[in-house]
């Protein structure tokens, strides 16, 4: 999937892309991610980004041994994008809005304090189209899932757009899939047809859980 031509600021930053590792968070192309930046090292990272290319990757932290600098591992496939809006607060914190422009494979560079960087390679989708019956099944499942979810959460908003389904798989995953592990698998999947099937499987599982829960409980984060 190509959400849009790769933004030049991100292209310029791929050789040493700043990495913001976060637990249980998956940043999808084609989505917007608001972040509140308060740690000093990431304030420095955002200040650098704003002064240069405005680009960064948001990588999912993994469990595993710490490196020599006390840093935990992060998933090698991440979402990357550019800061499209920001607010610097009086005490040095930032509120930023990231636009997801690409999925990247990260090869971490030697640590240069205070924040981590990686050489990044853009990962385009493999060629191939979503099968018509799979697209129909996914659309139908989304409608039924949303209908049942709104019974318990009347204010929840989600609508499929008229755009081709291939361009909506990441936003669907971002808004409707609850499990961080499943979300990361969807980000890592390079085949749109397989990603569609994974969405069908995950939404069907979530719907089954929803149907077993008391009316007030939530499924999504």
- State residue 1's pLDDT score: 32
Mean pLDDT, the chain, integer: 92
- State residue 211's pLDDT score: 84
High-pLDDT (> 90) share of the chain, %: 80
Low-confidence ranges of the chain (pLDDT < 50): 1-4, 216-219, 221
Cis peptide before 114 (omega within 30 of 0): yes
Phi/psi zone of residue 151: left (φ > 0), alpha (ψ -120 to 50 degrees), beta? alpha
Tokens in use for 32?
A: 């917007």
Domains, the chain, ranges and CATH?
8-122 (2.30.130.40), 132-212 (1.20.58)
**Closest to 194 measured CA to CA, from 102, 129, 124:** 129
**Closest to 100 measured CA to CA, from 37, 172, 10:** 10
- State residue 214's pLDDT score: 64
- State residue 4's pLDDT score: 47
pTM of the model: 0.90
- State residue 52's pLDDT score: 96
Distance CA 170, CA 174 (A): 6
The answer to whether residues 80 and 10 touch, using CB atoms and an 8 Å cutoff, is yes
- State residue 3's pLDDT score: 38
**Closest to 32 measured CA to CA, from 74, 82, 93:** 82
Distance CA 63, CA 72 (A): 7
């Amino acid at each position: 999937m190509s959400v849009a031509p790769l933004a030049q600021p991100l292209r310029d930053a791929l050789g040493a892309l700043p990495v913001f590792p976060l637990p249980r968070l998956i940043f999808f192309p084609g989505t917007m991610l608001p972040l509140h930046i308060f740690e000093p090292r990431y304030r420095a990272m955002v200040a650098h980004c704003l002064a240069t290319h405005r680009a960064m990757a948001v990588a999912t932290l993994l469990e595993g041994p710490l490196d020599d600098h006390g840093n935990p591992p992060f998933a090698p496939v991440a979402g990357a994008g550019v800061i499209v809006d920001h607010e610097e607060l009086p005490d040095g914190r930032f509120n930023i809005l990231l636009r997801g422009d690409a999925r990247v494979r990260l090869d971490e560079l030697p640590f240069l304090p205070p924040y981590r960087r990686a050489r990044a390679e853009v990962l385009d989708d493999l060629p191939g189209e979503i099968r018509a019956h799979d697209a129909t099944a996914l659309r139908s499942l989304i409608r039924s899932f949303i209908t049942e979810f709104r019974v318990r959460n009347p204010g929840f908003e989600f609508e499929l757009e008229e755009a081709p389904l291939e361009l909506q798989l990441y936003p669907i995953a971002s808004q409707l899939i609850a499990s961080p592990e499943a979300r990361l698998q969807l980000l890592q999947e390079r085949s749109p047809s397989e990603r569609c099937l994974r969405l069908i499987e995950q939404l069907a599982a979530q719907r089954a859980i929803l149907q077993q829960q008391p009316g007030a409980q939530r499924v999504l984060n």
